[in-house]
């Protein structure tokens, strides 16, 4: 009797993806599968291709070859950045980009309003459901107590959280987060690991980071990139013990 194979719903699938810049292969036969509801940490030395991989997923960079499939059959290489965002892929860049001269709450409100036209926004009355949603988002990103203050007055870490809240307002199925804890205090870094673990209960998350203490706190599967492809994959302890990983980090 043959056993049924377990069905693992893959949300994002990169298959043998390559891209060159002026003859240099920044991504070289990269294959990766992210499951629905999975958080994955991506690490790798400088120049490994982490940012380029995110650029390919979000449609900013077109690969020369390979497939990038979202939800089974959406070929992301055939769509532009706006369409990919609308399909449910949100991206948090390294630097926080919030509206500094608006309050924390207004930032979330603006993100929630999304594509409502400026004209429609002028006459829009926030429903009770909207209010509840905004309050829940403020709570998630630990900013309820700062809601009526200007975003400019937040700490660097809190601005990062606010931007994560703004992305969550769009309810992405997959959230890409680029070096979220760079420049954060130790306490903010610890809280960010908790925050991302909460977020990952309801969506997939890909986190690129260099901070190994933070990666350990995330406690998720780690993919090590080097020279544009996957060098090792597994628990942080597993990949840290891998001779190729040690060599690629410490150099020859």
Q: Is the Cβ of residue 107 or residue 248 nearer to ligand ATP in the bound state?
A: 248
Residue 2 binds ligand ATP (CB under 6 A) = no
Q: Number of helices and strands (H, E) in the chain? A: 10, 10
CB of 20 to ligand ATP, least distance (A): 9
User: Which of 14, 3, 75, 60 lies closest to 228, judged by CA?
Assistant: 14
Strands (E) across the chain are located at 10-21, 24-35, 39-43, 65-70, 74-75, 89-92, 174-178, 204-208, 221-226, 229-234
Which two structure tokens, joined as six digits, stand for 93?
A: 């860049």
Applying CB under 6 A, among 14, 17, 34, 50 the residue interacting with ligand ATP is 50
181 touching ligand ATP, by CB under 6 A: no
Which window, 44-52, 70-78, 146-154, 187-195, contacts ligand ATP (CB under 6 A)? 44-52
> Does position 20 bind ligand ATP by CB under 6 A?
no
CB 52 to ligand ATP: min, Å: 3
Angle between helix 104-113 and 128-140 (nearest 10): 120
Strands (E), 100-228: 174-178, 204-208, 221-226
Q: Does 49 sit near ligand ATP (CB under 6 A)?
A: yes
Residue choice 34, 39, 52, 98 for contact with ligand ATP (CB under 6 A): 52
* Strand 174-178 relative to strand 89-92, pairing: parallel
Is residue 21 close enough to count as binding ligand ATP by CB under 6 A? yes
Cβ neighbour number for residue 89 with a 10 Å cutoff = 27
Contact between 91 and ligand ATP (CB under 6 A)? no
Q: Does 48 bind ligand ATP (CB under 6 A)?
A: yes
- Rounded to the nearest whole angstrom, what is the least distance from the CB of residue 244 to ligand ATP in the complex? 16
Tell me which of 11, 12, 44, 189 binds ligand ATP, using CB under 6 A.
Answer: 44
Binding site for ligand ATP (CB under 6 A): 21, 26, 44, 46-52
């Amino acid at each position: 009797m043959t056993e049924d194979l377990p069905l693992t719903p893959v949300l994002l699938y990169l298959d043998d993806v390559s891209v060159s810049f002026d003859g240099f292969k920044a991504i070289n036969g990269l294959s990766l599968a992210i499951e629905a509801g999975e958080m994955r940490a991506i690490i790798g030395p400088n120049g490994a291709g982490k940012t380029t991989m995110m650029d390919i997923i979000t449609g900013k960079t077109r690969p020369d070859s390979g497939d990038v499939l979202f939800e089974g059959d959406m070929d992301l290489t055939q769509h532009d950045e706006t369409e990919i965002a609308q399909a449910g892929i949100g991206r948090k860049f390294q630097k926080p980009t919030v509206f500094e001269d608006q309050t924390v709450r207004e930032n979330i409100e603006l993100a929630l309003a999304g594509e409502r036209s400026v004209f429609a926004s002028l006459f829009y009355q926030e429903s009770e459901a909207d209010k509840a949603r905004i309050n829940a988002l403020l709570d998630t990103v630990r900013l309820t107590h700062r809601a009526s203050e200007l975003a400019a007055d937040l700490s660097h870490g809190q601005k990062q959280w606010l931007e994560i809240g703004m992305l969550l307002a769009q309810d992405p199925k997959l959230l890409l987060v680029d070096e979220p804890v760079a420049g954060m205090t130790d306490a903010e870094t610890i809280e960010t690991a908790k925050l991302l673990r909460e977020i990952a209960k309801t969506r997939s998350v890909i986190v690129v980071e260099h901070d190994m203490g933070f990666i350990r706190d995330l406690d998720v599967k780690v993919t090590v990139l080097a020279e544009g492809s996957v060098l090792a994959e597994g628990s942080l302890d597993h990949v840290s013990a891998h001779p190729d990983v040690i060599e690629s980090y410490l150099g020859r």
